[in-house]
Structure 1
């Protein structure tokens, strides 16, 4: 007998740094993912689906290996690392995972948490498709989850890399689906 898929929503880096104009990682067009992500979040909240807010945070007084490639960013309690607009966690079915690398799974307890909740599929939305979304989808797959990426709920300032990443996710790791399909999985 095949068990019904239990799905969780993972929102990746929905923080001021990417979505507030003038912040270090903001790029033109990023706002196009806001309404699709709001629809995903609303549906998940209404159905009682687990919502994971995976956000990058770094310790302000300590060196971080990531800074060899990137400028210092997303420090604890800094404005750029705060949740954007109406994407703050609410209620008992939402949790926060702090990550220090691109993937929400790498060096966090996300896989353990989701396995304990009997989750088998994760809908992944946020930014950037070719960096954090791809890394999270790859590690979701490696951790035994089916990653699903709603096409309208992610993008990048490098569209050609975003498209290549979506192709790889769909071909090798999971599925890239229209927003409506993802909403149905969360309902």
Structure 2
């Protein structure tokens, strides 16, 4: 793949659930990804690249298959499901994708949307490397997009699983790069 291909930035679950210290999914060190994500988003805005905010939201009062494995979380209009700080869609090049599973692609229109925008490569950032980032990278690859994960723009409370996921992404699906290299892809 060439460096001239059209690239989009996908922010995965940059929501209160993970980044607000009062929330049960918060973990020490998660804040380390915020500045790299800010830098990537600024580069995307400057170049006019598509920015997708993929956030998990579930319907209150209805059964959800995820409840079989995880406690209730990220219900529509609940504090934990709201965007963290300034990380909400802003401007003409930013959009929202609601997801109900780990992957931003599964049962959403993300692949269709990106195809319509002629995107070929996606830079995936946010939390957690071994769950939502990995699932999104795998489904990006399965849908014909080159997944790129900037190492400093994602992490996990399970570092050994994050490292294994990054290794698998780099070996089998796409690329793991530095934030600076990813910024270059957005410029």
Q: TM-score with structure 2 length normalisation?
A: 0.98
User: 2:146 & 2:3 partners in 1: Cα distance?
Assistant: 14
Alignment of 1:34-53 (within 5 A): 34-53=34-53
2:77 paired residue number: 77
Distance 1:116 1:3 in 2: 20
Gaps in structure 2 of 5+ consecutive residues = none
> Structure 1 runs of 4+ off > 2 angstroms?
none
Instruction: Tell me by how many angstroms 1:3 deviates.
Output: 9.4
Aligned to 1:32: 32
Using the TM superposition, give the Cα deviation of residue 4 of structure 1 relative to its aligned residue in structure 2, in angstroms. Answer: 3.3
Q: Distance in 2 between matches of 1:41 and 1:24?
A: 27
Please give the alpha-carbon distance, in whole angstroms, between the structure 1 residues aligned to 2:88 and 2:142.
Answer: 28
For structure 1, the residue ranges without an aligned partner over 5 or more in a row are none
Query: How well do the aligned residues superpose, as a CA RMSD in angstroms?
Result: 1.0
CA distance in 2, matches of 1:65, 1:137: 22
Aligned equivalents of 1:162 and 1:33: distance in 2? 13
Q: Which residue of 2 aligns with 1:175?
A: 175
SS of residue in 2 equivalent to 1:104: coil
Q: Residue in 2 aligned with 1:137?
A: 137
TM superposition shift of 1:86: 1.1
Q: Distance in 1 between matches of 2:123 and 2:150?
A: 7
TM-score (norm 1): 0.98
Deviation for aligned residue 1:92: 1.2
Alpha-carbon separation, structure 2, partners of 1:69 and 1:42:
36
Q: How many residues align?
A: 186
Return the offset for 1:46: 1.3
Structure 1 residues 120 and 177: alpha-carbon distance in aligned structure 2, compared to 1, 3 A threshold: same
Task: Give, in whole Å, the separation in 1 of the partners of 2:182 and 2:65.
Answer: 35
What is the SS of the residue equivalent to 1:44? helix
* Alpha-carbon shift at residue 50 of structure 1 (Å): 0.2
SS in 2 for 1:23: coil
